[in-house]
Structure 1
């Protein structure tokens, strides 16, 4: 693997040097490809266009990110920003690369979570868009056009992860392929209309199974905190190490979102029954609401409290999009019509 890692470092150096002027664009793209963005950006936008597609996006995002966590624990995988120093191969010739605020993630690197979740979630989006275009135009060529958008998104997100030294190229490719397969499989198994008990059991089951896997691997002498130690050691700015990039943060996000999806469907959301204008208003208000929910400060000590509140935060995400905001918009627009 040394040669693969080494070639990945030199590719990252070339990419940084030749696209230095696009630095801000790469940072924005890597944010859009963040699994968190699937919950906070793609989900509300998709939901108010197509209810089933929106629910599918949330479902696929949660399951694919959970699987990515399991894969990382099993496959390990270095990250470029720490491997440069740990390898000892660049003593005489140091690569001319730099880190960024989004570089210093603390989980293992293989496969890329950004690439994997993006590939899974955006496959749901583009396949739904393609089906809609075909039903309206009956043109195979036009309905296939979203696939080009899909490829462009994956390439952009993958290059952004290499540019900021968060992943090696082979990790990005592995994430894209795995995510694409998951997107095709999971979009056909969307748990729309399932009882709340199903989502509660799924949320608790995924949480407990991941914790048991973590404990089991530790009992076998496998230290799963190795990546956190390396990230802290080699990150150029200590403040770039954030708890919300830790593996257990993604776990609590996924389990919280799934429980939230069950609760939102239990309350029988009415967002999809709104006309187009109130639905657009609901999208705008939901986006602002999720922006502020995401920015809520959480205490980092003790860590158990942080993860518990992080879980609650993502339980709220489907409530805001599917229940609270559409309910308020319906109430005020209905009241206005009466007057």
Structure 2
């Protein structure tokens, strides 16, 4: 592994030296590949394009991020920004690399969550768009374009994670492969129209399953907070360490989103039927609403309160996208038609 890590540092150094002028582009790409972007950005966009695709994307994103958390707890992957210092291999000849505000994530590094969740969630969109294009045009070439864009975006996200020293190349590759497999498998069975009890059981099952695994590993003497200590030690700026990058934050996000998905389908089975123009308005309003919900400051002490509120925040997301905003737009457009 040491040779693999050294090669990864060399690749990151070369990438930074050659493309530092595109720093802002890399940072935008890495934010687009953030798992929470699947919930806050791509979910409303896909939902108002095709209801089934939106439900599938949220389902796939939540399950794949939960599995990524489990894999990270089991694999103990290093991250480049702390491995450089911990390895003591570069004391006399430190690599010419720099950190960024997005670098200092606190969870283990393997496999890459950005690559894994992005590959899984974006597969849903690519497959849906490709199928739609083929049914309309019967052109294999046109229907292949979403898959080419999918591959190109995954490559860009992977390189961005290497560029900012968040992951080694092999972590990006393993995350991408795992995400692709999950996207293909999970998108075949979309829980559209399932009863609320199904989502309650999924949400609580994933939450309790992760907590039991965590407790079991701790009982075996495994320190699952090791990565947090290293991130705090080697991060260039302490303010770059954020509680929403801690593994338990992703856990509460996934469980909250699944419960919210069940509640949204319970409140309004089948969703709202809207023409294309009101749907575009729904995308804009939902995106604005989720942007402000995401910006809501949460108290970080006590941490139990933070995680509880984080859970509620992402349980609200499907309500906004699937119930509140389309319901409001339907009410306004229907009233306008009657007038």
User: Shorter chain as normaliser: what TM range?
Assistant: over 0.9
CA contact (8 A) 1:195 1:262 kept: yes
CA contact (8 A) 1:260 1:317 kept: yes
When normalised by structure 1's length, the TM-score is 0.99
Q: Deviations over 1:99-156 (max 9, x none)?
A: 0000000000000000000000111100100100010011112111111101101000
* Aligned length, in residue pairs: 339
2:69 maps to 69
Find the residue that maps to 1:131 and give its secondary structure. Answer: helix
CA contact (8 A) 1:40 1:290 kept: yes
1:143 maps to 143
In the TM superposition, 1:143-162 aligns within 5 A as 143-162=143-162
Contiguous gaps of at least 5 residues in structure 2: none
CA contact (8 A) 1:270 1:323 kept: no
CA contact (8 A) 2:104 2:166 kept: yes
* RMSD of aligned Cα (Å): 0.8
Cα distance in 2, alignment partners of residues 4 and 300 from structure 1: 37
**Displacement of 1:332 after TM fit?**
1.2
Find the residue that maps to 1:273 and give its secondary structure. Answer: coil
1:326 maps to 326
Cα distance in 2, alignment partners of residues 17 and 224 from structure 1: 34
Find the residue that maps to 2:27 and give its secondary structure. Answer: helix
- Report runs of 4+ in structure 1 exceeding 2 Å deviation: 269-272
Find the residue that maps to 1:274 and give its secondary structure. Answer: coil
Q: Deviations over 1:52-80 (max 9, x none)?
A: 00000000000000000000000010000
CA contact (8 A) 2:265 2:271 kept: no
**Displacement of 1:271 after TM fit?**
5.1
2:247 maps to 247
**Displacement of 1:336 after TM fit?**
1.6
1:168 maps to 168
Cα distance in 2, alignment partners of residues 271 and 281 from structure 1: 16
Find the residue that maps to 1:19 and give its secondary structure. Answer: helix
1:208 maps to 208
Contiguous gaps of at least 5 residues in structure 1: none
Q: Deviations over 1:239-297 (max 9, x none)?
A: 00000000000000000000000000001156551111111111110000000000000
1:284 maps to 284
1:297 maps to 297
Q: Deviations over 1:208-235 (max 9, x none)?
A: 0000000000000000000000000000
2:190 maps to 190
1:110 maps to 110
1:29 maps to 29
Cα distance in 2, alignment partners of residues 328 and 131 from structure 1: 31
CA contact (8 A) 1:48 1:272 kept: no
**Displacement of 1:189 after TM fit?**
1.2
CA contact (8 A) 2:272 2:327 kept: no
Q: Deviations over 1:150-188 (max 9, x none)?
A: 110100000000000000000000000000000000000
When normalised by structure 2's length, the TM-score is 0.99
Deviates more, 1:262-271 or 1:122-131: 262-271
Find the residue that maps to 2:207 and give its secondary structure. Answer: helix
Find the residue that maps to 1:265 and give its secondary structure. Answer: helix
Q: Deviations over 1:277-334 (max 9, x none)?
A: 1111111100000000000000000000000000000000000000000111111111
The answer on 1:119 being equivalent to 2:105 is: no
